A and B are shown apart, each in its own frame.
Chain A
């Protein structure tokens, strides 16, 4: 009765509530007995992989499907495909296909497909666990140049490649050997040429010169060609488009022309050295080593060819890309390489051409020089004394130009110690130091040998030098060979330097974002900003800063002590109007300070919210937030932790090296020392020439 009254009193509303209560009880019991899966319906397989680029519109599929890890609920789940303007090109017909219920698809309105990039947003409510997962990825079709961002292969993305270094090594060694051999052949025998022995010595050395120059030219040609082909491999995304990329590289970039130039140089070298070798002994009328009609002409042609080859290489060196200094940088790079070639190549020449022929050369000249000096030491001495002038001046110029190039590329001690370029340079200099010390020892020996040869027998000094004097020639040969081997290591380090990006180059790319006015035509717009949170500043770069495929780069400044503890760097991009789900990417580590990711991230015009998360092993994450506006210049978000350090203000300052005063001081010291040592070497040569009766 009371129950009746209860229901009677509250009438129909109570019945509704009672029904709800029963439903609730049922639901609670059901849900309580469910063992939660705690997974998500997230994509397992895509019909179009994220960041894929389809070459032609006709190849674009008529539908997009995703296989999810769990069964998506078709009532809530969706796949939307929108172009860069945000216009949908799908037919809004999300449907479950396949038998397992995990594969979902939408069809596309193919009439709306144009060249450009498309954002594919998905949302999946899992029928298995009720969790909603969502995300966005981007694909491209057709030509993505212009405002749509550049495809990866045409971007100026320089990555360290040991293969490139291995391919460049033989080219560098080749040019060094050729230039050194040609210069030495032209210069070292002048004393004997004046005695009318030029033709005879020429015939003794030309075979080995031929071997050196011809083999080096062939190696240079082969490796220059392989380098071009390997560059095409680097920019090819798949095997099928290798020849297309090779063709682009050859015809649409300067690489093709430079390769042709190098090949022509190699052919000219081979031809000239062949003709030089074919000139019979004594062909020249005045019987000098190199007649103007034959040998000199051939060697001069070789000199021009190898000089052109080195110049072509210098035009594509790191120095050519230094803002404001490119012309001087190229010239300095050329001088540096050429003089290094004279020095190192000269040593190779002495080891490979001179020493093996020393007895025959001595025999040849023995009739012309004074009787008491009719021994190989005399020939050795005059040749090495002549070369030492070349070496002394070369080392001076090499050090000066090297200092300038280092000053151009490295602006702080942090860059020298912290960057790959700086480290490689330190290795190179570490090898150069013993080479220079050996050179100094050789100078010392030449002086000592000259004294033992030319002082009178009763002189007290000769007694002191006797022991040293007796073993000097063979020791000298050995140390020169050691020097030549060290030089090869030096050249290997140099080839590594050519494929390592200097720290200033990264900065320059960032400085390119300073303003539109400072940007040369044709260079894609880039976005650069220095962000700071928890006292850790980073340089953040987006290139190109346009709708399409972008390269996001995060650079940690060297002074940050926690760099080594960075575990992961990731970005999250959201359209501010929430028209797209979050786009996420993990950045790839390039070195201790640089991380980057490439892909279709800024896929639509408008405002974007960006979050950069840096996970560290022993510290809290660093979270940088900023707003980006893809139409206008970027604006800063409201986050108080973010502050902007204007590149315009700090940019010029950063380009000035902190080493400048030291470089100036060292340069002055070097010029003075080189001058003094050169004068000393010249006087020594004159003295030896005088003793041997070789003065004009």
Chain B
């Protein structure tokens, strides 16, 4: 592993100042960054360790929950307010990685999780627009079974691997940041960027800007939510397709709905076309199937990942069945 410098600021202001340095990277849980350092994909000059900052609180208020950026994935998944009020988030977190990794990984880090694209992770492959802007994309002509089919571009088809973000997206989460220019609040839907012509840019965060916390508004649908994940083995695997679904029921009639997909997009993917087809309709399997059939119409598949179109529609139905009491 290359060498680098290390700082552990005790104050937020100090962290933001250090983060401005060229070649600086923030580190929290380290589960992704240390891995990428070892692969030589990330080559920082300086690591700024955030672990001394006081961002480990989960605060529950009448209008929602505020989650500190350093809360571990395990602590968030097990929190009573999340289990009761945002079950899809808890399920998504527990379906991700391993218990060891969930103990280490933080909410802020999970938001900034980078792709598992094998070509991105292998520095011996020279062509990766995400790793090295303008160098090409080896995945386009490579083995792409795990790659994205939504939001892809001619420059990148790397999949966004997070489970947590899919659930957050379905729950109207807001990401709060602080940087040299002050504080910002960004809807999760706007936080991740599509690869387009610049796959090397992955989020709205600027260099040196820190995620301080994530807020989840109290909604009429979040408590009735579920996360369903299809993968190659029963545990400890990335999604082939996953769905977070949440609905608000008036008797048998769906008043509001949220449906998001993971495992298929270059960013967590919200399916508004499915949501619209659900509203005002009864919560039945037929309605769910008809609505889910509208998803994935913009999918651009390769010879290896065409199966994701049907699989994604099916995980949507499964998640809706779970929240709709149909199962």
The answer on A and B forming one complex is no
Binding site for A on B (CB under 8 A): none
